[in-house]
Structure formats: C-alpha cells, structure tokens
Amino acid sequence: MNVGIVGSGYVGTTVAACLAHLGHDVTNVDVDRSVVEAVEDGRAPVDEPRLDELLAEYGGNRLRATTDYDALSDAELIFVALPTPSNEDGSVDTSVVEAGAESLGPVLAERGDYPTVVVKSTVVPGTTADLIRPALERTSGAVAGEDFGVAVNPEFLREGSAVDDFLSPDKLVFGTDDDDRAEDALCGVFAPLVDAEDPPVVSTGTREAEMIKYANNAFLATKVSLINELGNICKEHGVDAYEVAEAIGLDDRISERFLRSGLGFGGSCFPKDVAAIIAAARAKGYDPELLQAAMDVNDKQPRRLLSLVDRHVDVAGERVAVLGLAFKPHTDDVRNSRAIDVIRGLRERGAEVVAYDPVASENMRDYFPDLTYADSAAAALDGAAAAVVATDWPEFADLDSEFDAMATPVVVDGRRVVTRREGLVYEGLTW
C-alpha cells in the first residue's frame, strides 16, 4: 500500500521503517530537514536498535522522506506520529498534532479515494473525534466518514526494542467510529504482520483506543510503583523485595514481569502519560487517587535512596559517584530519568557529583552542564566517599576492584545491579 507518516521521531521513524519492511511504499513527512536527509540517505535519525539496518535497506527507495505534505496526495493511509508534550499541569499539549492535522487538510481535499488518517500520537480520549477530525474537515472541506476515514492506532513500543516490538506485537488496536473503510485500510496495512505473527486484533472505537494506550501505560507504571511501595516496606523489615517479587510473580494473575523494584520509572512515556490521564480525569471532575499515588511513590524513590546515603556518609564537600544516567539501560535517553532527582539531591547536600554513563552523559549535560562527567565507572569511583547506582547497566555488575579506589566504599544501589562483595558497605534500595 501507499502509506504516509507525519512525524519522524522515534515512533514515526520506527513505524515508517517497519511498514517499508512489511512491503509498503512509505513517505515520511517531517519539518526537520536534517531528519529528512538522514532518512533519504538511509541513516536512522534516532538511535534505536535495528533501525539503522532497516533505514539502510529502505531509506531513499521504498521509504522516502520529505518536508512537503503534498507528497502524501496518493497515500491510502496517513499515520500521524507527532509529539504530544506535557503542559505545566501535566495535561497534553495537542497543538503540534492539531497543526499537523491542519497541514493534512489540503492533501485530503477532492480525493475521491477515501484515504484514512490514523492517529498514532498518544492523546486523551475524545481528542481524535473532537479536535483532530474537525481540524481535518475544516482544512480539507471534505467530510470524515464520507470522503476520508479517521482511525486511532496506538503504539506500545519500548525504547531499545521498538523495531522488535513493532514486528512482534502483543496486540494491535484499531479504533474507528463506525467506519468500516477506515478499519479495512488498517487491516490491509497490517495484513503482512497479522499473517506472520497472528497477534490479537482489538477492533474498537477511537475513544476506547485512545484510552487503551493510557490504561496500558498507567497500569504498568502503577505496577512498578506498587512493587516499589512493597519494596520500601520490605526494606523497613529487613526483607529482600526481589525474593518476594519472585514468589508473587509465580501467580499468573500477577506475572513476573515489571516487578523490579528500585528507583522507579522514567522515560518519555510513563511519567508523561500518567500525568496526562490524571489531568484528563480531573478535568472531568474525577480525582484519580491511585494514579496520583503511583506518581508520588515514584517521586519518593530518589529521596529514599538519598536517605540511605545519608545513613552512611555526610556527603557535604565529598565526591559522590553517580553510576548510570539513562532512564533505563541500552538507551542514551535521560528524559525523566530518576538520576536527575538523585543528582539534584546530592548537590543540595553539597556533594561534588561525578557522573558516569556508557552513552547518556552528553544528553545529561543539557540538565547539568557543570557536572563532572567521568569516562569510566572506575574514574567516577576514584576517591568517592559514596557511589549511587541509578541505571541497571549490565557493566555495573562487573565492577569489583574499581571499588577499592573509593575513599569510603559505600554503594547505594537503586537498581540491584552491583555484585556484592567483602569490604563493600552495600545498601539496596528495597532489599
């Protein structure tokens, strides 16, 4: 099929490359020329495993990129994968998506072939029906349901495994409002994936599809906060939360996944999406206490880690190593990383922070330009009065004699990655 994608960020590029891989002719529109050039040259504009190989294979041929919306005039389906950042109060800023929809108007005008616009961006229930659809109608002069289709198809990609997640999904969600042609178009574009992988396909309304994305992320984020709350209680009782998690995970209804307690969740999705659905609920007059608690527990974890440091060392004027800056391993993304709060807390205490991350230091410079960034864990640990672990990079499990160079060998592990050994004063956050 001839498919358009508006937005070439991490979701848009992954979807574009994967749809090309499924055999479609894909046109990616983005306002950023450097991104467009990268795609055209067969280079991935974002750092994501396997994306490079897909871009190298399809970029410039089956996958084209341009800044010109007119290039979408023959597209049968147009996915909108534009960012939905947070406002100050946590609510979703839909201005980019709305502007994108307005730019699509002329592409939908006088077509006669019923193209379908598919919203991939994460938006609160009702946004597609009440904001995007009217924006498309207003700028095209065409009528949704008569001249073009509208659908919602949320994405559940994780950073670091986005391509694999797309190509082996747990489920596909197709949201349409009594629009069989739009749903047929979605079935058509995903047919090669459905034939190969046979994922469950959820056919539902646009509002429901929008909510499914939030419910999915809110559930997972709350699961992490729940195991963190239980982990905090475990710690107070001298119990290892990981032993408890392993046992409760044997109950199918609980499952062993997402039970790693510690410093909490970060990244571009969980904090933003939970805040957004809280704000959306409040706007409707409902106070979501449990989701707010999930956010509060998440905010609390860095403070608990710092209080464990305080138990052993007065860090004022001391060098403290922060190991791991990325919000999770295998990414250089530091957005909402728990390491940010940890570093802030250490600096408030007057510590001289020396940070190390295998790949994320450059991005952390945007938040802390004047921090000392070491180029190895060993260099960060050298002379440190304490070390805190904020990201579960596997290489931290191999640290051993490197701890000998510390001034005092105190390690507070927020991710249960360091291998304990003789001579180390080791504190786990929830164990």
Contacting positions for ligand UDX (CB under 6 A): 155-159, 217, 220, 224, 258-260, 262, 264-267, 269-270, 327-328
CB neighbours of residue 316 within 10 Å: 10
Shortest distance in whole angstroms from residue 413 CB to ligand UDX? 13
Nearest CB to ligand UDX, comparing residues 114 and 214 = 214
Phi, psi (rounded to 5 degrees) for 420: -70, 145
Of 174, 182, 177, 186, the closest CA to residue 114 belongs to 182
How many residues are given for the chain?
431
Phi, psi (rounded to 5 degrees) for 199: -75, 155
Nearest CB to ligand UDX, comparing residues 8 and 217 = 217
CB-nearest residue to ligand UDX: 269
Shortest distance in whole angstroms from residue 217 CB to ligand UDX? 6
- Contact yes or no for 15/5 (Cβ under 8 A): yes
Shortest distance in whole angstroms from residue 332 CB to ligand UDX? 13
3-state secondary structure of 118: strand
Nearest CB to ligand UDX, comparing residues 220 and 342 = 220
Q: For residue 19, give the amino acid letter.
A: L
Q: N- to C-terminal Cα distance for the chain?
A: 53
Q: Kindly tell me the sign of the dihedral angle through the C-alpha atoms of 167, 172, 173, 178.
A: positive
Which of the following is catalytic: 18, 187, 234, 269? 269
Nearest CB to ligand UDX, comparing residues 44 and 104 = 44
Across-strand partners of 271? none
Integer Cα distance of 412 and 389 in angstroms: 6
Shortest distance in whole angstroms from residue 4 CB to ligand UDX? 22
Active site residue 269: yes
Helix, strand, coil percentages in the chain from 3-state DSSP, rounded to 5: 45, 15, 40
Shortest distance in whole angstroms from residue 408 CB to ligand UDX? 28
Shortest distance in whole angstroms from residue 342 CB to ligand UDX? 13
Across-strand partners of 333? none
* Structure tokens, 288: 């979501």
Nearest CB to ligand UDX, comparing residues 220 and 340 = 220
Question: CA 310 → CA 304, 380, 411, distances in Å?
Answer: 10, 19, 12
3-state secondary structure of 43: coil
Nearest CB to ligand UDX, comparing residues 120 and 349 = 120
Catalytic residues: 269
